[in-house]
Structure 1
Amino acid sequence: MTSPDPSTATTATPGTARLSGPVAAGDATRTGGAPRPQVRGSGRRLVANAMTYVLLLLGAVVTLAPFLLSVLTSVRSAKQFATGGPLALPNPVTSANYAELFGGRYDFIPPLVITVQVVLVVLVGQLVFSVLAAYAFARVRFPGREGLFWVYLATLMVPQVVTLIPLYTMLSTAGLRDTFWGIVLPFVFGSPYAIFLLREYFRGIPEDVLSAAKLDGAGTLRTIWYVVVPMSRPILATLAIITVVSHWNNFLWPLIITSSTKWQVLTVATANLQSQYSGNWTLVTAATTVAMAPLLVVYLVFQRHVVRSISLTGLR
């Protein structure tokens, strides 16, 4: 016959029963007899989360403030800007600056059209030629494939400024200076970064899928179009966003290769406008707002792909 465990014994008093040992300690914790460490920890997490949100809010304000200031200034008259200062609200709101841009002293429609055309042509060329080259480096076996790829990739380390003079000399000799094709040709046949990005993604496609397509009689181009491209939509969307943003904002090369207003892109036209009307900041901010607005629309429409592109590439 065993004796009862003293840690679980009960002591009876008239009308009550008192528990001792671990059970009593647990009851004391549940009834508030002992402090709760998790409450203190949750309070610290709450403070940390609040500080994080405050920092994120400050970052958003700092990021959006220039754009909001540009928009507010663009809907003010030059007199309001001179008397009220740069931070005053527009009163009343006016669209005179935009009317002057599109039909006034300075016609902003041709630079806008040229920029859209340049971006579309470069985008199509980048996607087509980069996909073909990346697939060749990833899946087609030929002598010297790895060495050629790494030599091609090494051009990423060459600053773009170094290649401007040779490119200008070549295109000027070919009679392409101050032409549309002079603007787009250096970028339309793909880029080392785009080929590297797509090659790494294509190498992750299962070999069984490509082998099944070949067994069904698909050639290389049909395999790329019907198998590789549908499976690579996320990375293609990433490349498209990077291409659109970078070439919409491209300034240095169009400035060098063009000399007339006929082939001016938005960035060059905005810079020329600022130099011509340096004192009319309301007109200049209207031009910068027009240049920024399409990228804002692209972000709002393709927000999910923009976030994915940042996570895949680390670029912002």
Structure 2
Amino acid sequence: MKRIALYLALFAGAVVSVAPYLMTLNSAFKEPAQVLTTPAWEPAFPVTLENFAQVWSQYDMAGFLLHSLVYAGAVTAGQVVFSTMAAYAFGRMSFPGRDVLFWGYLATMMVPQIVTLVPLFLIMREFGLIDTYLGLILPTAFGTPYGIFLVRQYFRTIPRDLESAARIDGAGTLTVLVRVLLPLSRPILATLATITFITTWNTLLWPLIVTNGDATRVVTLGISALKGQHSSQYHLILAAAALALLPLIVIFLLFQRHIVRSIALTGLK
């Protein structure tokens, strides 16, 4: 009975979590009149693809999705590379002031993002990076406290005997990182990449501040602008939201196994 109750609770939690996404996808296939006259959970009938065709042809959804892909992909690649190197330095190397520096850097997580927006904008303006991909990418491409902390904690679970054995064989610091630690850390790196990509893809505030043209407009800004211009055409907004949601579903399905392994495994095979 306890197991049945547990599974029922988990099922209820899953339904509550997934229901908004399913209702968005369902409503995106409804005709304009049905969107406002039927409940969101009522199946679309008849099913129509006109909403997707209209939002794709009348608005630059392909461009918005491409801009978001470049933005999120570049930030994710930078986060994985630089967070890994910083995590190795903080977790496996010894140098004066290491722990003080790490915990001081980690304390910046308590600073709200809104506090740093104006200084970041002024820096980007001084370098002439307003309304550019570099202006979008640079503030978060070199690692974040959360990413470094996540990878560092995983590195600390890997036995030091493996690293010592590699050094006895003549491996240097970079070789140990690339050939010993990274192969054992694929689950946590996949988790970091997935979290970073999804977070960056969904970001609205920083792109809103640093971009002002269609050449760099990401999908979140595209949907926001669509809602502002056509506040009553919810069928188009839902179709655009469904298009923006699909890449995230694909990313999660590809990496969900690694996310579970990063929680369940240590670094020792």
| TM-score (structure 1 length as normaliser) | 0.78
What is the aligned partner in structure 2 of residue 256 from structure 1? 209
What is the aligned partner in structure 2 of residue 173 from structure 1? 126
Structure 1 runs not aligned, ≥5 long: 1-44
Query: 1:139-168: per-residue Cα shift (whole Å, max 9, x none)?
Result: 222222222112111111111111111111
In the TM superposition, what is the alpha-carbon distance from 1:255 to its structure 2 partner? 0.9
What is the aligned partner in structure 2 of residue 102 from structure 1? 56
SS class of match (1:289): helix
Alignment check: 8 A CA contact 1:238 1:308 kept = no
1:311/1:115 CA distance change after superposition, 3 Å: farther
1:303/1:204 CA distance change after superposition, 3 Å: closer
What is the aligned partner in structure 1 of residue 116 from structure 2? 163
What is the aligned partner in structure 1 of residue 256 from structure 2? 303
In the TM superposition, what is the alpha-carbon distance from 1:206 to its structure 2 partner? 2.1
Give matches, 1:19-34, under 5 Å. none
In the TM superposition, what is the alpha-carbon distance from 1:272 to its structure 2 partner? 0.9
State the identity as a percent.
47
| TM-score (structure 2 length as normaliser) | 0.91
Give matches, 1:111-126, under 5 Å. 111-126=64-79
What is the aligned partner in structure 2 of residue 134 from structure 1? 87
Structure 2 runs not aligned, ≥5 long: none
What is the aligned partner in structure 1 of residue 12 from structure 2? 58
Query: 1:48-93: per-residue Cα shift (whole Å, max 9, x none)?
Result: 4444444333333322222222112211221333555655433321
CA distance in 2, matches of 1:215, 1:306: 33
CA distance in 1, matches of 2:62, 2:216: 12
Structure number with higher relative contact order (C-alpha < 8 Å, ≥ 6 residues apart) = 2
CA distance in 2, matches of 1:180, 1:155: 25
**Mapped pair 1:152 → 2:143:** no
> How many residues are aligned here?
265
Pick from 55, 70, 73: which aligns with 2:24?
70
SS class of match (1:262): coil
SS class of match (1:218): coil
Q: Give the greater-gyration-radius structure (CA).
A: 1
Query: 1:247-302: per-residue Cα shift (whole Å, max 9, x none)?
Result: 11111111111111211111111111111111111111001111111111222222
Q: Which moved further from structure 2: 118-127 or 57-66?
A: 57-66
Alignment check: 8 A CA contact 2:29 2:239 kept = yes
1:87/1:228 CA distance change after superposition, 3 Å: closer
Give the letter for the 1:114 counterpart. H
What is the aligned partner in structure 1 of residue 144 from structure 2? 191
